[in-house]
Structure 1
Amino acid sequence: MKNIGIKALMGTVLTLLFLTSCSDILDEEPRSIYEPGFFETETGIYGGITSMYAHLRYIYGQAYYYNTCLTGTDEVTYAQSADQNFKVMDISGQGEITSTSSRANVLWEVAFSNINTASGVIENATELGISDALIAEARFFRAFDYFMLVQTFGGVPLDLGAGELAFNDNPSRSSERNTVPEVYARAIFPDLLTAINDLPDAGRVTGGATKTLARLYLAKAYLTYGWWLQNPNNIPTYPETDRTDPDGHDPQWYFQQAYDIAMEAINNPGPFGLEETFYDVSWAPNDRNDEVLLYADHTETSEFYNGGSLTYGSGSAPDNFAGWMMTWNYTVINSSASATEWDAVSSVQREAEQHLGRPWTRMCPTIGAITNTFADKTSDSRYDGTFTTVYRGNWDKAGISGSLYNANFMEVNPGDAILTFLDEEPEETIDYPDDAGNSNMGAGVLPGRPDFVISPEGISRIAYPGLWKLGPYRTDNGDGLGQPNAGSTRPFNIAKFSELYFIAAEAAIKGASGTRSARDLINVIRARAGVWRWDNNGNEEKTEDHSADMVNATPATIDINYILAERSREYYGEGYRWYDLVRTQKWEELARTYRIGGSNYGDHTPQTVTRNIEPYHYLRPIPQGQLDAMEGDTGNYQNPGYD
């Protein structure tokens, strides 16, 4: 395979990182040449291991891959400014997913070079006296990448040109795909089992791989493979193979293993655990908290260590720019300088602040996500801790002084609500304009309110609640607007301790037995969701405990659809959803139709859109670049349906 040979190993693909053994952070040093013998040195081993953390930046926070994980699900559709990168993923008549249009190519192109690096480390490290714990980090990342690949594309090659799971030091233009069971049985499971045995409880460095992290991925891999073996809706796989396990286990064995491993991690968490409130998990000043097991890191202290400019985002990896995609163009919002006639002033300026950030308007939530998934916005804090629903005036930070006048020509000051996406449909009728109106973005007016409003049924592809979770955060804004055009300098969260409860609960629904039921496990998450310490969109302290209400509202018997709804409430917009729907084979059932308003300001009439989700869509196409790089007959290499 040409694009997974040594040339692509990392010298020109990733910024090399070198780890100093006495440091608790990853020290990065660029290197323009990376030849195979480098892995025969201690410096090369440390450099290779550290680069595995760097490779995460090229996948997580990369907006086009992020789009493939969400657009087309019940959570997300394309927004007004979307190009074909986003529209085709919606599968709603705006284009077809093909080997050239699918941006899952991002994962393919990055993962294999890292797998080869991991193999180089694993093969050479022992002879150099490198500890098993350090080698286990490479094993974790090799399994991690293979697990992401097999979920996305089906069976993938274990031989990159030098033998199965062997380090390849010469470009190869031939490739054969292994089957799904072979990838799990020969690569993912063995590497993760070794990683669990050899990794420490606490990370060697800040954000480093741990036993808890490896247990999370092993439990999730067991769960996913159990579903694959069971295949309840007869979804095809490729390369074609029987749904039998080479080790002779049935799906139930894997569901039980998923439960047991997840419970082992919950009961032996090391330094990890749940944050006290859901808000605290995504609150930017609390980044890198004890609930986050793995992240693609960034920083505002250094462009070099950040992996990108601190002043202007390139719109490409390794920038963390995924958060721009569901940020609509709130900067069009106008208020008035006059109390008697409309004298437009931009009252919500672009700012490097978690509620705001750089708007691209490429992706938007479906109405169903707002009204159904997050139906409870009173007891459950997760809606408030996920979305930006109130846009507040910040014109003073742009040098505009004094008060302004807003809806109903009522006076507003910096920090006041200028536009509110209402939690529920109001009893009174909203007076919407026929076009953009005074607000300049089609928002309506309610009597006695100084803020413009849009109800849940009125959101559209052009105006919708933003994704607060991924919003930017800087400590160097001073009294101004900061650097809102830069990529986010926050880490992109990849794995969380909370998912262990979901994995164990899902396994229990699939028949696994143990000391805690699916309902018990989900109620740990739901109880936490009922605890408020801050009203995010109200911008004020809110000390309320609705945990008992949340627990009592949980059905006595929960099914997989309930688990999936809870997963969406917990992880909305973080890139989990497509994988969740594909694993459980619920994609077509839950996301076949959705509702959303149109693409013009003032359009508040929901439309019902139907998607054409076919069984072959449950695998993404092999990228055309891979096929073009191969010699010989590639006719059987592509996943069926994408020929």
Structure 2
Amino acid sequence: MSPTNNPYGVIWGVFSNINTASGIIENAAEVGTISAELIAEARFFRAFDYFLLVQTFGGVPLDLGAGELMFNTSTSRTSVRNTVPEVYTRAIFPDLVQAVADLPDAPRLTGTVTKTVARLYLAKAYLTYGWWLENPQNIPTYPAADRVDPDGQTAQWYFQQAYDMAVEAIDNPGPYALQPYFYDVNLGSNDRNSEMLLYADHTEKSDLYNGDNVTGWGAGNSPGSFAPWFPTWNYTDLRSSTSSSSFAAMSSVQREAVQPLGRPWTGVAPTHELIIDMFADKINDSRYDGTFTTVYRGNWHKNPNDAHHTVVYNANNLPVGQGEPILTFLDEDPGTITYPSGAGDNNVGAGVIPGRSDWVIAPEGISRIVYPNLWKLGPYRTDNGNGLGEMNVTYTRPFPVAKFSELYLVAAEAAVKGAATVGGKSARDLVNVLRARAGKWRWHNNNAVEKNEDNSAAMTAATPATITIDYILDERAREYFGEGVRWYDLARTQTWHTRAATYTICGTDKGDHTPQTITRNIQPKDYLRPIPIGQLDGMEMTDAEKKAYQNPGYD
């Protein structure tokens, strides 16, 4: 990652949003018709953007050309970065405190922010700043600043504030609540449910309001969302046979705009550590089944060219009907899988087990190009009819930004960091609320069958007596995998270099089922992302001044 090759660079662009928010806050009184609630929304999003910036880049400018937190109306080609404590104490905390005071309990429109949303972000900001002040791994900051709060508060004080604010939101939820089953949190037909506090909304009805095409081919440009493309491997490579006497290949799982499938891109794959260790309990805990697509079912009948085939012949030359499993990623290795040399008849290198009609891959055989899809972010549309639907467009579902469940884990993390707790809300109590929910099943997603089981007692009994930061991070992974929060979690807790320095996965060739351990050299400077080169080149600065403005190590 560098100033010129920097996916995080787009975040720098939120300064235009910050300036718009400042214009609303500064001029609302003169307009005279803008309510305190609407001004509070502007304050929330200004704080939201500054919080995102300070976590990503360190200290950033509060003066955009017209004065600190003032609305700027003319081009400014000079800039001075404020320190991390200044950004938190002058911008983020004051705006969020005011937002909590002025926002309504219920949203004025579907998806708009409320007191509960603001309380979550204020609690997260307190928690993150507490970690920054404590700095347990001596990670450097930039611009250079002493780890001292301008108001004289300690890290412990901020951890307590984080806990208190999160608990207040849990106790006064307004219209929000946990879904009764983890499956329902991410079910496409249940989008915008009571657990969704904040989301980037999209629609299948309008190109304009979706931010990109809703029919045809999506461009994949912002503000359209194509995040779900990346974790979707090319499952359309799968082959079955139309003949029982010789292998006459056909595509038995075709590209379809349904939640288990979607548009293949093959950009990022889950690691073995995630699949095998993080989601170790696949029997009691519903979150693995409610996160990944592990069974790929025949859908060739939705293609008019192939609909005349009532069955296809699959592993062990056994017949498979429409809607039945073509490929299964197993929960564990049974030790009886025979893999082909290379891609094999199925064209993806999947194996066979005697007596089974589906191709299979063990967790240890997951590779960079053949892996479980991220079901939770898969497409959901109401206009597919009886066909394959619009499977090549960008995301038309709301993308999750914050969920009510996070309040429990923020409070639990603050408690682990020493915050005094109230009765019934220790770190373990809070974690167990989510683990109990994870143990409740109403549907087995990948088996496509009703499953009425309550394993909450087993789930809570398995929770360690002493909750650690590592355990909190594990729970956060199980709840929010694929939602864009992991790097921030590891950066906040200063555990990125220890938890993510190595990972295991098989290679890029079909039929490669040999795990490889990859080692990454994560340095302290990597805890800040580089400022994009376009920002530096657009300012009137000498080369030396640009170097001083850039985060160290990204020359």
Same fold (TM over 0.5): yes
> 5 Å matches for 1:138-157?
138-157=42-61
Match status 1:630 vs 2:539: yes
**1: CA distance, partners of 2:342 / 2:171:** 57
**2: CA distance, partners of 1:543 / 1:573:** 27
Query: What's the offset of the Cα at 1:635?
Result: 2.2
**2: CA distance, partners of 1:169 / 1:308:** 29
Paired position in structure 2 for 1:423: 331
Q: 3-state SS of the aligned residue for 1:595?
A: strand
Aligned counterpart for 1:530 among listed residues 418, 429, 439:
439
Structure 2 counterpart of 1:575, which letter?
A: G
> 5 Å matches for 1:197-216?
197-216=101-120
Paired position in structure 2 for 1:116: 19
Deviation digits for residues 393-452 of structure 1, max 9, x if unmatched?
0000012122111000100111000000001111x4211001100111000000110000
> 5 Å matches for 1:469-618?
469-515=376-422, 516-618=425-527
> 5 Å matches for 1:358-373?
358-373=263-278
**2: CA distance, partners of 1:524 / 1:585:** 26
Q: 3-state SS of the aligned residue for 2:163?
A: helix
Q: 3-state SS of the aligned residue for 1:533?
A: strand
Structure 1 counterpart of 2:136, which letter?
A: P
Query: Structure 1-normalised TM-score?
Result: 0.84
Is the CA contact 2:212–2:220 (under 8 Å) kept in the aligned structure 1? no
> 5 Å matches for 1:7-406?
97-109=1-13, 111-129=14-32, 130-311=34-215, 312-399=217-304, 400=306, 401=308, 402-406=310-314
Query: What's the offset of the Cα at 1:571?
Result: 0.5
Gaps of 5+ in 2: none
**2: CA distance, partners of 1:416 / 1:106:** 42
Aligned counterpart for 1:411 among listed residues 313, 319, 342:
319
**2: CA distance, partners of 1:414 / 1:126:** 63
**2: CA distance, partners of 1:523 / 1:514:** 15
Match status 1:446 vs 2:353: yes
Paired position in structure 2 for 1:640: 552
**2: CA distance, partners of 1:307 / 1:125:** 28
Structure 1 counterpart of 2:24, which letter?
A: V
Structure 2 counterpart of 1:139, which letter?
A: R
Query: What's the offset of the Cα at 1:559?
Result: 0.6
**1: CA distance, partners of 2:206 / 2:540:** 43
**2: CA distance, partners of 1:224 / 1:114:** 22
Is the CA contact 2:506–2:513 (under 8 Å) kept in the aligned structure 1? yes
Query: What's the offset of the Cα at 1:221?
Result: 0.1
Q: 3-state SS of the aligned residue for 2:547?
A: coil
Deviation digits for residues 150-170 of structure 1, max 9, x if unmatched?
000000000000000000000
RMSD: 0.6
Query: Matched residue pairs, number?
Result: 545
Query: What's the offset of the Cα at 1:223?
Result: 0.1
Is the CA contact 2:123–2:163 (under 8 Å) kept in the aligned structure 1? yes
**2: CA distance, partners of 1:544 / 1:245:** 49
Deviation digits for residues 573-621 of structure 1, max 9, x if unmatched?
1111000000000001111100000001000000001001000000000
**1: CA distance, partners of 2:111 / 2:121:** 16
Query: What's the offset of the Cα at 1:459?
Result: 0.4
**1: CA distance, partners of 2:96 / 2:472:** 25
Q: 3-state SS of the aligned residue for 1:418?
A: strand
**2: CA distance, partners of 1:485 / 1:624:** 32
Query: What's the offset of the Cα at 1:296?
Result: 0.6
Paired position in structure 2 for 1:465: 372
**2: CA distance, partners of 1:206 / 1:271:** 11
Q: 3-state SS of the aligned residue for 1:104?
A: helix
Is the CA contact 2:212–2:221 (under 8 Å) kept in the aligned structure 1? no
Deviation digits for residues 141-191 of structure 1, max 9, x if unmatched?
000000000000000000000000000000100000000000000000000
Query: What's the offset of the Cα at 1:248?
Result: 0.3
Among all aligned residue pairs of Structure 1 and Structure 2, give the percentage whose two residues are the same amino acid.
Answer: 68
Query: What's the offset of the Cα at 1:488?
Result: 1.5
Q: 3-state SS of the aligned residue for 2:549?
A: coil
Deviation digits for residues 249-283 of structure 1, max 9, x if unmatched?
00000000000000000000000010000000000
Deviation digits for residues 613-635 of structure 1, max 9, x if unmatched?
00000000011000000102322
Deviation digits for residues 341-367 of structure 1, max 9, x if unmatched?
100010000000000000110101001
Q: 3-state SS of the aligned residue for 1:126?
A: helix
**1: CA distance, partners of 2:77 / 2:207:** 36
